[in-house]
Structure 1
């Protein structure tokens, strides 16, 4: 189980809703008070970046593919993707006017 620690949109800290990520093999489930989202994870690499496509199968993102980059350091997982539906990010931080969301999760337990 992964719990959010912080979130940044366009380089600015934003409040993070209380969500829980469960990753089991190539499947994910994200649960919040408002919704439950589930799908598949397809891992890859582009250059030196570790990539993942989040393919929604049920919930608010059903039928949507979200191209992201990720990194794992110990018990900390970072994901970065474009909430505006743009292409896969090439870096883990956005600037004003961009719609890059970076979320930092910590492994529970």
Structure 2
């Protein structure tokens, strides 16, 4: 009788187990991004302007390396970003932005005034807007 009860217990426990593994959503923007293009006032800046610039995203934290290092927090809602500078030249600043991925290129349009989200990726006639293109390293 004991072997039967033991077999029944094992069968019950294995049938009640959940074979699904817990999955954690990974932010597709995580990683190191090299700046390939900057557009301000509708004009692309010369390649020297983006030389040696990198954006590093790790979930809700970012580091931007250019002439200096800027660190902060980014919050996402759909294709919108709220960027809060914590360390560096943008400490205490709040910027709004929209972003998209196109053919493995990350495109972010920033509003440095932080008072509204850009409606598109155009910067002509918008002095507080700039668009940056990044390629994953």
**TM-score after normalising by structure 1:** 0.84
Q: 1:31 to 1:82 in 2, by over 3 A?
A: same
Q: Quick check: 1:58 aligned with 2:87?
A: yes
Unaligned runs of 5+ in 2: 1-31
Q: Which runs of 4+ in 1 moved over 4 A?
A: none
> Structure 2: how far apart are the matches of 1:39 and 1:73?
25
For residue 24 of structure 1, the aligned residue among 58, 71, 77 is 58
Q: CA RMSD in A?
A: 1.5
Higher strand share: 1
Helix, strand or coil for the counterpart of 2:119?
coil
Please give the alpha-carbon distance, in whole angstroms, between the structure 2 residues aligned to 1:84 and 1:44: 19
Q: What's the TM-score, normalizing by structure 2?
A: 0.68
| In 1: Cα distance, 2:113 partner to 2:84 partner | 16
Q: Which of the two has greater helix per residue?
A: 2
Structure possessing the higher radius of gyration over alpha carbons: 2
- TM-aligned CA deviation for residue 72 of structure 1: 1.6
